[in-house]
Structure 1
Amino acid sequence: METLGMSPSKEQEYKDIEADLKKRIEGEVRFDKYSRLLYSTDASMYEIEPIGVVIPRHKGDVQAVIEAANHFAVPLLPRGGGTALAGQTVGHAIVLDFSKYMNRVLEVNQEELWCRVEPGLVQDELNAHVRPMGLLFGPDTSTSNRATIGGMIGNNSAGAHSLTYGKTLDHVLELTVYLSDGSEVVLKDLSFGELGAKVAQDNLEGRIYREIARLAEEHKQEILARYPKIMRRVSGYNLDEFAKPKPFNLSRMVVGSEGTLACVVEAKMRLVPKPKWTALDVIHFEDDIAALEASHAILETAPYALESTDKLVLDLARGNIVQSKRLGFVQGSPSSLLMVEYAGDTEAAVREQVDKLEKLRQSRKIGYAATQAFKPEEVRAVWGVRKAGLGLLLGIKGDKKPIAFVEDTAVEPAKLPEFIKRFREILTRHDARAGYYGHCSVGCMHIRPLINLKQEGEVKKMVAIADEIAELVLEFHGALSGEHGDGLARSHFNERLYGPVLYNAFRQIKRSFDPNNLMNPGKIVDAPAMTESLRISPAYKTWAPETLLDFSGQGGFAAAVEMCSGMGECRKKLDGTMCPSYMATLDEEHSTRGRANALRAVLSGKVPNRDFSGKRLYEVLDLCLECKACKAECPSNVDMAKLKYEFLSHYYRANGLPLRNRLFGRIEKWNRWGSRLAPFSNWLANSRPNRWLLELLAGVDRRRPLPRFARETFEDWHRNHRPEGKESRGEVVLFHDTFNTFNTPSVAITATLLLERSGYRVVVPEKRCCGRPMISKGMLREAKENAAKNVQSLFPYAERGVAIVGLEPSCLLTLRDEYPDLLRTQASKLVARQSFLLEEFLLRERDAGRLSLAFKSNGRKALLHGHCHQKALVGTAPTLAVLRWAGFEVSEIDSGCCGMAGSFGFEKEHYDLSVAIANRRLVPAVQASGSEVRVVASGISCRQQIEHLADRRAKHPAEVLWEQVEK
């Protein structure tokens, strides 16, 4: 265990705690410096290094950790997805991460509409489990694809449909918890007799029941006077729930307590019937206050949900790779949108509701335009943009960031327009810009002022704004937090908001549950000042390594790392590609956020700068497959692949380049020789002695079949090829990659024939390897040499407007994505602009009316797996469109990454993970398709993985298109 900067006595204490925990539990115990730093942040502006991290396998581990915490008198902090915005899940404590193992659905009762789950279960995964039963869990946070049920309980989360479903509190039936003394108790509705028995107990549980009953009765009038009378209020403890005429259920006190009272290990949650149909009417406004004023009238139509978003969020969405593709519903350049959703049992019913709203809108002149969404994919697109609002704001470049500190205020909906006007006046006085979006239906808006926490004056501005907004909230009888919680950002305001009597009652609640102050101390009561423990502060400094890649577009290498806000989108598991290693391991260290945190720790001096070329940082980055999904799917567009390339170049310069990197990085050379020596080379490469030797000397796993070499390469074929037909449409450059030249030349041959049939003269200039294998292995200097030679060869064509067409996405897109960063020249940028994947080029030419191919109309079925780089930088829409044009009935697998990632899947230490990634979604989908379905994949690595694991031969789009051409 590394304990940098720790006193000898503290170091020994931590070692003793670590050793004791390893004896007690079956889960994982991590006390090394990097593990602590990975859990030192969440999605808030705070950073506190924990004592250590425990990843429990079952509730017995949790009990053992609580017992150890009592023995050593150290705090505990339960944590789910780490998506808290107010700092609830950071602290100097032993962090309990429930998300990796304790994430099961234990029971579902369809008749009684409830489920029993473990706290680490992600909300979307619960809904995926119960959706086939026609059910769902009502509260739906924007972080639903990574927020855990335990975190939602701790926070009392709500979401876009709280107008219909309320908060998490409204759906908790029963909690199994461990109290601070390690005793296991079940909290549920109690009859009068059961409550009497609990109160009579002579133990911690009995004392808690007695104290809560006393406080609720004693302060009933103060509760009625001071608690905000609004739907959205999660600040403080839920003492008001015990002043209501309903069965006594102590779980209602634990909900929203942010882990300060007890540790939840099981939850019985209410489920609701899933609507059969939903539809949206998206109303456009030229003024955001007018939108809020209109929301009051719209609420009279009983919508299922009513949300708003502003121009800043929409402008940021236009610059985001993923979100920009969803903006087809936006008309013009609105200042604000209202997203109004209706639900019903039939499509006709929801259409009728939308029609009624449209009549109301037109009669009252509400908004300047509206877009209706009835198809499920249209509805998903609208909600996708709304859910991305937070991440899009956090992706703003520069030192001024949208900080969460007054972002969760809630007031009575009818008062919201006036409240926002006053809110804006405060920001204007402080010269602060902000994004505005949120739940206008329930009066809860998310307003995040842009603050530069690196400047002392800006930190003071933040404090002043927070103080004035707190007073404004009090004036409007609202809440400082409608769903995001108190944490470190707002807990210090609770005494002002609730008054000294209730605040003292909160302290007594805390003491009754946690007499030794071990459960996530410093939240809700007795909190530090909001400016303590800031992740970025005036004292924050970074050093900048000299980089071979150009990071000026991100503001430098350190700024590119700081783009990660900690919101944890990279921890999703059910869809998309980001992050394939996390999806397989469920380990924070293997998420994009974990890697960014580790890099930031080195750059900011949390660990020595020499660690930038150290083994531990290498281990953190090792399982990054360089898929680039984070560049597209992370709302902040963190480009971890690019950061890893740069790191590897420094690491290998300091530690030497391994033999395996030389072999894979210079794969073109070996492939060229392999083809010259084929078929002998194929026999030799796959012989048992050679496989054993390759595994021993280079770590190439013997279980992975090696690609075969073609005796006649594409270059050989093309030299002897004489085109048939007219070349009426001019030239096109075919950028023939290493693999489709030496391993599968049939792909390049069919692409050539296809382009010639389309009327083009195919030019195959001399070139070097694109450099992708070198880049992936940190060999940036060699890659730069290749890039310079290739740009020199391709620039004359690009300058004349000739398209450069490629077949292997990772190779062709290197010209687009890496060459400008490697070379930093105008020539490389022009080559990048003129580079297209084959399907992109064909679609462009067809849509421009310059291309007409005759295809067979046999209606064959096809199943498409998109290449990761293609999905991140281009998308699969061109491939789908061209395949449909060719007569295929094509569907796309939401398969994520295939797990190969070039050489990654060949490497002994990575083979099992590569297989696990493929087996999550890709392999089952391929195996479930019939033999008559053509499997299509543009990446050679993808095709290798499919053949190896699914025993199906996938074909390149060029091959299946050529098959369909009328000869």
Structure 2
Amino acid sequence: MTAQAFVPTPVTRRPREPYVRVRELERDLAARVDGEVRFDPGTRGAYSTDGSNYRQVPIGVVVPRSVEAAAEAVAVCREHRAPITSRGGGTSLAGQTCNAAVVIDWSKYCHRLVSVDRAAHTCVVEPGIVLDTLNLLLRDTGLMFGPRPSTHSHCTLGGMIGNNSCGSTAQAYGKTADNVARLEILTYDGLRTWVGPTGGDEFERILAEGGRRAEIYRGLRDVVGAHAGEIRRRFPDIPRRVSGYNLDQLLPGGDFDLARALVGSEGTLVTVLRAELRLVPAPKAESLVVLGYHDIAVAGDAVPRIAAHRPLQLEGVDDKLVGYERRKGMHPEALKELPEGGGWLMVSFAGDSREEADDRANALVDDLRGSDHEPHVAFFDTELLEKELWEVRESGLGATARVPGMRETWEGWEDSAVPPERLGDYLRDLCRLFEEFGYGDASLYGHFGQGCVHTRIPFDLVTADGVRAFHAFLERAADLVVSYGGSLSGEHGDGQSRGELLPRMFGPAVMTAFEQVKAVFDPDDRMNPGKIVAPYRVDENLRLGPGWTPAEPDARFGYPADEGSFQRAVMRCVGVGQCRRPSGGVMCPSYRATREEEHSTRGRARLLFEMLDGHADSTVRDGWRSGAVRDALDLCLACKGCSHDCPTEVDMATYKAEFLSHHYSGRVRPAAHYSMGWLPVLARLAAFAPRAVNVLTHTPGLGALAKRAGGIEPARPVPYFADLRFSDWYRRRGPRGDGERGTVVLWPDTFTDNLAPHIGRAAVAVMESAGYRVVLPPRTLCCGLTWISTGQLGVAKRVLRRTLRTLAPALRRGTPIVALEPSCAAVFRSDAANLLPHDRDAVRLKEQTRTLAELLTRTDGWRPPRIDRDAVSQPHCHHHSVLGYDTDRHLLRSAGVRLDAVGGCCGLAGDFGFTAGHLDVSLACAESELLPAVRDAGPETLILADGFSCRTQIEHAGTGRQALHLAELLASAIRGDDLGPYPERRIARRPGRPRVLGQR
């Protein structure tokens, strides 16, 4: 019988749109699958794209609670002939994880480390586990999973298997395919089995057993056997060939390793249910050396000699990437440490000790000294600086995606790979091609030790001519890399970005083999159709495209960094996905609590994009009135963490305020917008009879009625209003001292003034002891924070204008404005100028606002009192995102405080934690990092938090601790007092502990 006898008809055509009875499919999935089944427009919009140029609205989304539930979802889809697409972190850059299919999202629940075999150096995982999480769980074993993409903090192992991911450490450990032992797979037609290397005897046993498994093995053997010669000839022998199916793993005479063959198939052949991974010993020590060269191509020339030293990582960055990061203010301290040059290689070595790693790095430097490739050298041996320098490289995508003054850049040719010994010449030819097409702004960086080059290119993807040029460039670039014996993809896979171009690399015979392999597994083309085999064109399904006609609504904010355009601001999100990190930084606390795509910064940005209605099939059709967008934004804490942590500086807090302003224009608002949005006015009224108000809000029955009327969470205690406002105390007392160091205006924010006046008094004492004359504004003012956060922007502008008129004399004299509440300081430093972009006093306020730590550390001759204590501090989210906390760290450490600064968000975030229905998420956010750190702190350890929200959350959450403001700490130390709580501080009853969310 001939080889082709076992091969079904190749998949050469695909249905453009599957015919599926969607309502019946949704009904059956909901009835039979243990998970979340979502076919609503909001969810479909959030999943309509990934990190690529492409957009396809899915039929629906299934979030299975277990691997078994996922298998059942596939069975239901099979009965309805519905196509399926698997999705992990959704960061794919080639369009693999968006499709007109049922998307199965593995990341929320299917993230178990099933088992570890230390002796065999293997583990079994579910597809949704994040790489960094896996390696953290493996830490005690001394083992780790070797490949480490730049998205390691949020990419899933399922996604890495789907794309055959690599990363910088693939220099030492190889691609994902090299580190997979076995896979548990499920075919669309229902075969479920484990696959891996198959010896001759086992192969014959499988054939003898018959059935679907035997059919697959026989078909694969025959397809690959028939095309073995062309496979050997057309598959480039380079470290980073990721394009195409791994048919080289099935060649006659080898192990017939079906697991490795399926890695990188992008969900087009099978569904991966579990994976057995090979692990490697984690390096005990690493050393980094950075080499500077004249330009990036010269750096590429030096790669082979350096690679011979077998480094752990060998990465390249060019002067354009470094320039863009400098322009965006990214990693300023690390960039100062780069040696002279216009192109750099970052080379790290591993060792069993720091000395061994350093010796290996020194051996490299000695070898290069006096050679044709002698560089400028910078040697680094501190973990902090090494981490910051690696972030320079890992931030490449975000750093080049939205650069001030430059056209937007896009993926499309971001990971080609060539033989490392030919890298320098390839870079020169690629740069010439950039210039020919007018793409000269594109930067070059990547995994140079293995010849893999990353870039983002300023394609014009919104005009017909621009898209034609995009297509023509890709064809020319494909021919160029093939002429170098390279691969279209060296890391990110083919998907839609390169599927159409694969024949230029592999030729007709190998493409026929790919089609036949697809037919062996998936003859009806239901598995992620249109990717790799029978692909969509590279210029189809564009997220933008010549037909994209988004609305450009009038905006309340100025958006100075986005040419005044809300639409351009929304387009900042390119799908990097750092908002999906389970830890580190602040962004995005609600995603960490819910693990919901719609509650990530990226998911919300996707829905706002859909709301702009640029496509005929936009999922959000009701504009500013959209309930789907409102619901997605409801759990945004307005922490502004994304404005700092997102490499493209998406500012979802501002977008939320903008949306709420339009959404509720001319409509009745939620009760919380009136109670907490107008808190400054209500607090001023309460000051006339604070004790009566406290009785009302804390008496059983009356308090419950008041909360219900105000939309306040029933289990959340209402803070006590002070008997005497801070500003009233100050006006009775008056300013003191001659102010030899000048005058400062102390800002009496609503929280300090009405709820924590002891902090204001402490701040006055500290600043006067430092030689300042402290004055307050002559009347009650407000920064407008509560109106901004609830989207009442018209009121916020009026409030801010009144404040600016009152402060104008001080501002025009250059008097510093000292703000004690970080959120209010952040309004002055960010939101005020954005709301009033043409007001010069708003600019002055931005420039003259200081935190207490900033004022004191800039005071010549001032030294903090000695405080020899351990302390856990919670930097306010706006410290992290707008103000910066390094000044506070420096001040506290110079005072002798042994500081442990906690990451993450406290979860209260102004009105968020007080709003009815938010308690579970609020406390879940706090449980991420803050509350465990407070509970673990010893009884003598100080708890520090400048934010009223942070202190309140600590008090309400049952920790038994109270947090101090920096002003309290310094004032107590200056007086020599005990560092206990002030008598005015009263703790109301605590809410219950958070219910355990399903995904936690």
Deviation of 1:164 after TM superposition, in Å, equals 0.1
Say whether residues 1:738 and 2:750 are aligned partners: yes
CA distance in 2, matches of 1:106, 1:548: 50
CA distance in 1, matches of 2:303, 2:650: 35
Q: Give the letter aligned to residue 68 of structure 1.
A: V
Give the partner amino acid of 1:873: V
- Deviation digits for residues 437-477 of structure 1 (CA, Å, limit 9, x no counterpart): 00110001112221120122111111111111111122111
Is 1:923 the equivalent of 2:937?
no
**Counterpart for residue 951 of structure 2:** 943
SS of the residue aligned with 1:863? strand
Q: Indicate if the aligned counterparts of 1:725 and 1:757 stay in contact, CA closer than 8 A.
A: no
Give the 3 Å change call, closer, same or farther, for CA 697–231 of structure 1 in structure 2: same
Q: 2: distance between equivalents of 1:131 and 1:384?
A: 22
Q: Work out which of the residue numbers 662, 665, 677 in structure 2 matches 1:653.
A: 665
One of 820, 839, 843 as aligned partner of 2:833 = 820
State the alpha-carbon separation in 2 of the partners of residues 820 and 10 from structure 1: 50
Q: Provide the rounded CA distance (Å) in 2 between the counterparts of 1:608 and 1:593.
A: 16
Aligned to 1:3: none
Between stretches 201-210 and 143-152, larger displacement belongs to 201-210
- Deviation track 1:11-32 (CA, whole Å, cap 9, x = no partner) reads 9821111111111111111111
**Gapped regions of structure 1 (runs ≥ 5):** 1-8
Output the amino acid matched with 1:612: W
Q: Is the 8 A contact 1:883 1:961 kept in 2?
A: no
User: Take 2:576 and 2:622, find their aligned partners in 1: how far apart are those partners?
Assistant: 28
Deviation (angstroms), 1:330: 3.0
| The one of 641, 644, 654 aligned to 2:656 | 644
Count of residue pairs the alignment pairs up: 952
CA deviation vs aligned residue, 1:4-49 (integer Å, no higher than 9, x gap): xxxxx99982111111111111111111122111111000000011
Q: Match of 1:853, as an amino acid?
A: R
Tell me how far 1:328 sits from its aligned partner. Answer: 4.1
Residue 192 of structure 1, CA deviation: 2.5
SS in 2 for 1:662: helix
In the TM superposition, residue 324 of structure 1 has moved relative to its aligned partner by 3.5
Q: Could you tell me how far apart the structure 2 residues matched to 1:854 and 1:178 are? A: 64
Counterpart pick for 2:432 among 425, 434, 456:
425
For 1:807, the equivalent position in structure 2 comes to 820
Deviation at 1:827, TM superposition (A): 1.6
Please state how far the C-alpha of 1:607 moved relative to its aligned partner: 4.4
Partner residue in 1 for 2:739: 727
1:783 aligns with 2:789: no
| 1:855 counterpart (865, 883, 889) | 865
- Call closer, same or farther: CA 1:397–1:562 in 2, change over 3 Å: farther
Which is worse superposed, 190-199 or 35-44? 190-199
CA 1:431/1:413 → structure 2, altered by over 3 Å: closer, same or farther?
same
User: What SS does the corresponding residue of 1:103 show, helix, strand or coil?
Assistant: coil
The answer (yes or no) to whether the contact 2:20–2:82 under 8 Å persists in 1 is: no
> Is 1:694 matched up with 2:677?
no
The match for 1:357 is 364
Please, which of 109, 112, 115 is the counterpart of residue 104 of structure 1? 112
Change (3 A) 1:965 1:328: farther
Residues 854, 966 of structure 1: 8 Å contact kept: no
Equivalents in 1 of 2:234, 2:372: separation in Å? 39
- Equivalent of residue 231 in structure 2, options 204, 223, 229: 223
Compute the displacement of 1:212 (Å). 1.4
What amino acid is the match of 1:826?
Answer: R
Q: Which residue of 2 aligns with 1:4?
A: none
Change (3 A) 1:514 1:609: closer
- 1:685 aligns to what? 697
Q: Does the 8 A contact of 2:313 with 2:349 survive in 1? A: yes
Superposition TM-score, scaled by structure 1 size:
0.96
- The alignment status of 1:134 with 2:142, answered yes or no, reads yes
Asked whether 1:885 is paired with 2:894, we answer yes
Secondary structure of 1:696's counterpart equals helix
Q: Bigger CA drift: 306-315 or 145-154?
A: 306-315
1:51-130 superposed matches below 5 A = 51-130=59-138
> Is 2:418 aligned against 1:411?
yes
Aligned to 1:565: 574
Please report how far the alpha carbon of residue 758 of structure 1 lies from its aligned counterpart in structure 2 after TM superposition. 0.5
What is residue 666 of structure 1 aligned with on the other side? 678
The CA deviation string for residues 329-357 of structure 1, in whole angstroms up to 9 with x for no partner, is 2356x422211111101111122223233
SS in 2 for 1:307: strand
Determine if the alignment matches structure 1 residue 843 to structure 2 residue 850. no
* 8 Å CA contact retained: 2:184, 2:194: yes
Q: CA deviation at 1:654?
A: 4.0
Which residue of 2 is the match for residue 383 of structure 1?
390
Alpha-carbon distance, 1:962 to partner? 1.7
Matched residue SS, 2:659:
helix
Q: Partner residue of 1:6?
A: none
Paired residue for 1:303?
A: 311
User: Does 2:263 match 1:255?
Assistant: yes
Structure-1 separation of matches of 2:334 and 2:23: 51
- CA positional deviation for 1:692: 1.5
Query: Hey, what's the Cα distance between the residues in 1 that align with 2:378 and 2:805?
Result: 48
Q: 2:724 aligned with 1:717, yes or no?
A: no
Task: Measure the CA separation in 1 of the matches of 2:384 and 2:909.
Answer: 29
Q: Secondary structure at the match of 1:207?
A: helix
Q: What is the DSSP-based 3-state SS (H/G/I as helix, E as strand, rest coil) of the residue aligned with 2:417?
A: coil
- How many Å separate the matches in 1 of 2:825 and 2:270? 54
Among 870, 874, 877, which residue is 1:865 paired with? 874
Structure 2 unaligned residues grouped into runs of 5+: 1-16, 977-1000
Q: Match of 1:843, as an amino acid?
A: T
Aligned mates of 2:300, 2:65 — CA distance in 1:
47
Following TM superposition, by how much is the alpha carbon of 1:684 offset from its aligned partner in structure 2, in angstroms? 2.1
Q: 1:835: how far off?
A: 0.6
Q: Distance in 2 between matches of 1:129 and 1:813?
A: 37
Deviation at 1:300, TM superposition (A): 2.7
**Cα 1:655–1:597 shift into 2, 3 Å:** same
Distance (whole Å) between structure 2 residues aligned to residue 621 and residue 599 of structure 1: 10
**Are 1:437 and 2:445 counterparts?**
yes
Q: Could you tell me how far 1:588 is from its partner in structure 2?
A: 0.5
Instruction: Indicate the SS of the match to 2:457.
Output: strand
Per-residue CA deviation, residues 777-828 of structure 1 (Å, 9 max, x unaligned), is: 1111111011111111223222222111110000111011111111221221
Q: 1:67 & 1:508 partners in 2: Cα distance? A: 24
Q: Quote how far apart the aligned CAs of 1:903 are.
A: 1.0
1:84-139 deviation line (CA, Å, top 9, x unaligned):
10111111111111011111111112222111110011111111111232211100
Q: 1:664 to 1:326 in 2, by over 3 A?
A: farther
**Residue 191 of structure 2 corresponds to residue 183 of structure 1:** yes
Question: 1:523 offset after TM fit, Å?
Answer: 1.3
1:903 aligns with 2:947: no
CA contact (8 A) 1:179 1:263 kept: yes
CA gap 1:289/1:496 in 2 versus in 1, 3 angstroms:
closer
From the superposition, tell whether residues 790 and 187 of structure 1 become closer, same or farther in structure 2 (CA, over 3 Å): same
d(CA) in 1 for partners of 2:18, 2:343: 54
- Which range moves more in the overlay, 216-225 or 825-834? 216-225
3-state SS of the aligned residue for 2:350? strand
1:269 aligned to 2:281?
no
Q: Which residue of 1 aligns with 2:3?
A: none
Give yes or no for contact 1:494–1:525 (8 Å, CA) kept in 2.
no
Corresponding position of 2:291: 283
Instruction: Give the whole-Å Cα distance in 2 for the aligned partners of 1:40 and 1:643.
Output: 20
For residue 450 of structure 1, give the secondary structure of its aligned residue in structure 2: coil
Bigger shift: 653-662 or 375-384? Answer: 653-662
1:553 shift after superposition:
2.3
Q: Is the 8 A contact 2:908 2:950 kept in 1?
A: yes
Instruction: Quote the offset at 1:634 in angstroms.
Output: 0.5
AA partner of residue 314 (structure 1): V
Matched-pair contact (CA < 8 Å) for 2:368–2:375: no
CA contact (8 A) 2:658 2:791 kept: yes
Please report how far the alpha carbon of residue 566 of structure 1 lies from its aligned counterpart in structure 2 after TM superposition.
Answer: 1.3
Tell me which amino acid in the other structure corresponds to 1:746. H
CA drift at 1:641 = 0.7
* Counterpart residue number, 1:335: 342
Are the structure 2 counterparts of residues 412 and 854 from structure 1 closer, same or farther at C-alpha, using a change threshold of 3 Å? closer
Please give the alpha-carbon distance, in whole angstroms, between the structure 1 residues aligned to 2:620 and 2:905: 34
Q: Which amino acid is the alignment partner of residue 386 of structure 2?
A: V
- Which stretch of the first structure deviates more once superposed, 425-434 or 229-238? 425-434
